[in-house]
Structure 1
Amino acid sequence: MSADDPDTKLVARIGRGDDAAVRLLVNAKLPRLLALARRMLGDAAEAEDVAQEAFVRAWRQASRWRPGAARFDTWLHTVTLNLCRDRLRRRRERTMPELPEQADPSPSADTTMDETARGRAVQSAIAALPERQREAILLVHYQELSNIAAADVMEISVDALESLLARGRRSLRATFAARDMQDD
């Protein structure tokens, strides 16, 4: 499988201390890692912190990286996803003195949803999914990972991933069907 990994040579260069290779890796991977972290966390600043930590871990691991069962990109997505999970867990553990105000994500009856509002509605519906369904949807549909790569990142079988995707899609369809009925 390592012969299929396009990042093998780049990671080896990083392991030898090649600064140009680090810049190439960051330029190639940063947009997708940021997008994943932003969608998972809903916070751009936290997403940047997660992406930075993922790259620090990649840099530290580079000299010891041995191509094997997983592609480097899969490993990097797994690191990013785990860092997001850690932050989400810490959020749940924190107690807040008062509940935060939440804006009503549904559009008013007399206005039509523009592209930005629709995007917010989709983001809100995805955020409401159970964690594993949300992760599967984000990895496959937003990160454009194959089912095999997404299953590797989530450390589950492809069948389990496909089941999560099916349940997540059903839930999203139901959410939007209910929203459409509410708008009528």
Structure 2
Amino acid sequence: MPDHRHDEAALLARAAAGDAAAAAELVDRLGPRLLAFTMRMTGGDRAAAEDIVQEAFLRLWRHAGRWDADGTAGLGTWLGRVASNLAVDRARRLRREAPLEAAPEAPDPAPSALAGLERAEREDALRGALAALPERQRHAVVLRHVEGYANPEIGAMMGIGVEAVESLVARGKRRLAALLAPRKEELGHDDG
């Protein structure tokens, strides 16, 4: 088992035994990346992302006494899978609760008059294109290309095989390219 996994498992065991400092250290180590991931999965809704992160850690604390340090998933992978499932559940719940007429309008693809920075425009375009992907493709693409997880870790988080991850990522990238193609020149990518 890699050292960081051993370290994290030891911290979790201490947290399960009531060591608040160990629990705080785990949150400090794993929380920022998990929050960044959930922010992307909730379309930038910080409050929803924070709620998901909090719930994921609560589930970890409940599971702490039974954690298998030699299991296939590290703590970060396990938390990522829980957060991913919570984000999917939240999105489904919102779709069920909100009638189609109440759905927010799609963001205007034209660059804002105040957003003169090319980078901000690119980020907005990518965020919008990511939001247009089917959930599973979006999750796989974000986990792979934004968060930097390896395909086996993504498979563990999403509960699918590596081949399925590869397929989701490939289809997601093709769809992103198609969605962003009309804006290539505007975003400064007119070189093919």
Q: TM-score, normalised by structure 2?
A: 0.85
Instruction: Give, in angstroms, the shift of residue 106 of structure 1.
Output: 2.8
Equivalent residue, structure 1, for 2:75: 72
Equivalent residue, structure 2, for 1:39: 40
Segments of 5+ residues of structure 2 without an aligned counterpart are none
Q: Deviations over 1:55-83 (max 9, x none)?
A: 11111111121222222221111111111
Secondary structure at 1:63 match in 2: helix
Report 1:105-124 matches (<5 A).
Answer: 105-107=109-111, 114-124=118-128
Contact 2:35-2:49 within 8 A present in 1 as well: yes
Contact 1:2-1:8 within 8 A present in 2 as well: no
Letter in 1 for 2:157: V
Equivalent residue, structure 2, for 1:147: 151
CA distance in 2, matches of 1:112, 1:104: 15
Contact 1:105-1:121 within 8 A present in 2 as well: yes
Q: Deviations over 1:144-167 (max 9, x none)?
A: 111111111111111111111111
C-alpha RMSD of the superposition: 2.4
Segments of 5+ residues of structure 1 without an aligned counterpart are none
CA distance in 2, matches of 1:4, 1:99: 43
Residue 93 in structure 1 maps to residue 122 in structure 2:
no
% identical equivalent positions: 46
Instruction: Give, in angstroms, the shift of residue 142 of structure 1.
Output: 1.6
Contact 2:107-2:128 within 8 A present in 1 as well: no
CA distance in 1, matches of 2:148, 2:42: 18
Instruction: Give, in angstroms, the shift of residue 103 of structure 1.
Output: 3.2
Report 1:146-165 matches (<5 A).
Answer: 146-165=150-169
What is the total number of aligned residue pairs between the two structures? 183
Q: Deviations over 1:89-141 (max 9, x none)?
A: 110001346443443033279x9662112111101101111111101011111
